Amino acid sequence: MTCYFRHIGSVFDEDGVAVKADNKKELDRLIHASVDVPYED
């Protein structure tokens, strides 16, 4: 689920990360891993 990106978009902007359709799933996986939550798609 990548719908939460619209709520935390400013965090990505501050870090210079461009959130695009082709990288949302990978960013989602990385966020899940960083908070130690299993990624189920």
For residues 5 and 30, give the distance between their C-alpha atoms in angstroms, rounded to a whole number. 13
**Residues 4, 29, 24, 35: is their CA dihedral positive or negative?**
positive
Q: pTM for the complete prediction?
A: 0.75
pLDDT in tens, 30-41: 999 999 999 886
Task: Check if the beta carbon of residue 30 is closer than 8 Å to that of residue 8.
Answer: no
pLDDT in tens, 1-41: 678 888 998 999 999 999 999 999 999 999 999 999 998 86
